[in-house]
Amino acid sequence: METETNNIHRLSGQVALVTGAARGIGKATAEALALAGADVAINYQSSREASESLARDLGSRGVRTVVVQGDVADADQVKTMVGVAEEALGPITILVNNAGITRDGLAMRMSVEDFDEVIATSLRGAFLCSKAVARGMMKARGGAIINVSSVIGRRGNAGQANYAAAKAGLIGFTKSLARELGPRGVRVNAVAPGYVVTDMTAELPENMKEQILKSTPLGRLASPEEIASVIAFLASPAAAYITGAVIPVDGGLGI
């Protein structure tokens, strides 16, 4: 028999939408939420095969899933994406704004397009997706929105002015939305991961990886699952009195 502690983490009956869920933190988050019993809408922009594979895997665990293609930076596509997800699974009660891209380069050499694209996906996308689900959550007087920020948004990083601006913006967005939606029972929080073992970090030069490890008190990169477990906690009843928080999951890098 499950203990009360286990039950409080269960998400049975909840419907989650995870953006950028085809790989990395997004994939691990979809898996963690499904493991806790939530039905999951898996958003992707271009990685259809990986998303469908994930959906089959989660479905084999006894939860309902749907794959929803859409560019989170496009208002019309977001509206369609949320509509498809809710038609298949029911009203969204958990939103994880995870979708993000990088276009690194020194600010003086960075193109306007590279700056705008990063802001559009990470920050505008979170705004559009949150706006699309917030009304339903407010009517239901409950729900959880979790934004995936970054340690870079808290401390900055040379060569990532666009990414830092987007992730810092997510922190301000999280706190503002938490104030707006809190009176209607909707919680809004953020996680700020450090460096995680993903496709993005795999492309970093070895000397940069060594520098990161030296600057991280725990001396290693995080796994996507370690970030996902904190997101799943914030989505759960165990975090019922937490809103407007930014949880660092960075191995101490942001100290």
Q: Which positions are catalytic?
A: 163
Residue 11 in tokens = 């998400």
Identify which of 28, 29, 21 has the alpha carbon closest to the alpha carbon of residue 50.
Answer: 21
Ramachandran assignment for 153, one of left (phi > 0), alpha (psi -120 to 50 degrees), beta (any other): alpha
Residue 143 in tokens = 């729900």
Strand, helix or coil for residue 183: helix
Ramachandran assignment for 139, one of left (phi > 0), alpha (psi -120 to 50 degrees), beta (any other): alpha
Identify which of 82, 145, 43, 95 has the alpha carbon closest to the alpha carbon of residue 54.
Answer: 43
Residue 35 in tokens = 């493991």
Q: How far apart are the first and last CA of the chain?
A: 41
- Name residue, tokens 């975090």: 239
Strand, helix or coil for residue 220: coil
Buried b (16+ CB within 10 A) or exposed e, 51-75: beebbeebeeeebbbbbbbbbbbbe
